[in-house]
Amino acid sequence: MNAKPEDFTKQILRFEAESILFDLVHSPALMGAMFDFDDEKKQKSVDYIASILQTCFDAKHLHMAVSHGKAELFGYALIFVHPGEPTRYLHKVYVFEQFRGQNIGSNLVEAATKGTHTTALLCSRQVEKFYEKKGFRYVREFELPSSDNRFRLSEHLYTGLTFMTNGDEFTRAPVFLLDDRDIRHIMAIVYSSQNP
């Protein structure tokens, strides 16, 4: 039986949650937690992050472009949209290592950005050239609003990133960020023997 793109939704959300948790655990806010992370706490933390992504998906604020074979996921792109925002946010393009070099990433970017909407993304300097080849241009360095205190524990995750867009005009995009409340929830999981 051939798989459909929606058959991979749970796998994608789980993998993305694991990726986000990996970044968080290697951050100053949770660096000390690395030694207290057993399998159960990791599982609970991943479940929590995946539930946030699932909520966004269920509300139709998160869309996916999927590349797959009959029963195997090759890669995916995550796109955040928000009512009233003219610009979409390309959160991630990911191709599993064994499928890289086969133009899958390029195809996912094309699928994720098709249509008349402007798309923006955050990326490191190392991948700017890839996105430039796909029609994106540098806008500015990304900075969290200095007046917004909701991202103090996670702000370091977003340093060194640049905003890029494929549109002529760019004002803002519905960027997906975990806030301090989310980080504290994960810290409570790690530092407690019970569910927070």
Query: For the whole prediction, is pTM greater than 0.75?
Result: yes
Q: Where are the beta strands (DSSP E) in the chain?
A: 62-68, 73-80, 87-95, 118-123, 137-141, 162-165
For residue 165, give the CATH number of its domain.
3.40.630.30
Among the listed residues 53, 55, 24, 18, the one whose alpha carbon sits nearest the alpha carbon of residue 187: 24
180 within domain boundaries:
yes
In a domain, 65, yes or no: yes
Tell me the C-alpha distance between 95 and 148, whole Å: 33
Residue numbers of the domain that contains 117 = 5-191
Task: Quote the number of domains for the chain.
Answer: 1
Whether 77 is covered by a domain: the verdict is: yes
40 vs 15, 35, 97, 167, 192, CA distance in Å? 17, 13, 27, 44, 11
Contact yes or no for 36/51 (Cβ under 8 A): no
Q: Tens place of pLDDT for every residue, the chain, 196 residues? A: 577 878 999 999 999 999 998 888 877 767 766 667 788 999 999 999 999 999 999 999 999 999 999 889 999 999 999 888 889 999 999 999 999 999 999 999 999 998 888 999 999 999 999 999 999 999 989 887 776 788 887 777 788 899 999 988 776 788 888 888 998 898 888 877 544 4
Instruction: Read off the tokens for 161.
Output: 């990133």
* Within-domain flag for 196: no
Residue 47 inside a domain? The answer is yes
